């Protein structure tokens, strides 16, 4: 989905800022991204090995940039960021798999059926919510 980027010719989609002689500290400027990716990526990076510091900011709400600052204990920041993105993608895969399972349609899911709504009936929590609702006056 080319929602991100929209890389204009004038400016690179990804800008990398830092000192040439220190690979362990970098600021990555993502074009076309916001808190959606910034915060989720920050969280994942903070759980990575070798990360000393990670923070993100959106310098101005009407400019389409998010800055992610990454400082490691020595490993190249680039490799850590790459792994962080991989891990975040991995979490998405895990959720997609859980959705398949929850829908119970993992094998039979077809493209043409995707507009339909065929999932197993509501679970126990719905019954409980209904019971509670019945008691409302």
Residues from 32 through 61 that contact other proteins (CB under 8 A): 33-37, 39-40, 42-44, 47-49, 51
**x/- map, 114-133, other proteins, by CB under 8 A:** xxxx-xx-xxxxx-xx--xx
* Whole-angstrom distance, CA of residue 26 vs CA of residue 111: 42
* Whole-angstrom distance, CA of residue 105 vs CA of residue 99: 9
* Whole-angstrom distance, CA of residue 60 vs CA of residue 48: 28
Whole-number Cα distances in Å, 48 to 31, 41, 53, 73: 23, 11, 10, 11
Q: How far is the CB of 69 from other proteins (least distance, A)?
A: 14
Among 8, 17, 52, 53, binds other proteins (CB under 8 A): 17
Q: How far is the CB of 124 from other proteins (least distance, A)?
A: 8
For 102, which DSSP code?
H
Quick check: 70 binds other proteins (CB under 8 A)?
no
What 3-state class would DSSP assign to 81? helix
> Binders of other proteins among 71-100, rule CB under 8 A?
76, 78, 81-82, 85-99
Q: How far is the CB of 44 from other proteins (least distance, A)?
A: 6
């Amino acid at each position: 989905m080319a929602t991100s980027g929209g890389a204009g010719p004038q400016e690179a989609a990804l800008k990398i800022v830092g000192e040439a002689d220190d690979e362990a500290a970098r600021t990555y400027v993502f074009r076309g991204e916001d808190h959606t990716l910034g915060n989720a990526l920050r969280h994942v990076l903070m759980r990575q090995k070798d990360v000393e510091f990670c923070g993100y900011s959106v310098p101005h709400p009407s400019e389409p940039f998010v800055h992610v600052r990454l400082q490691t204990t020595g490993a190249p920041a680039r490799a850590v960021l790459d792994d962080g993105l991989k891990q975040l993608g991995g979490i998405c895969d895990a959720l997609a798999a859980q959705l398949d399972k929850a829908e119970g349609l993992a094998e039979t899911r077809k493209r043409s059926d995707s507009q339909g709504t065929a999932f197993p009936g509501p679970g126990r929590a719905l019954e409980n919510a209904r019971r509670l609702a019945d008691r409302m006056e």
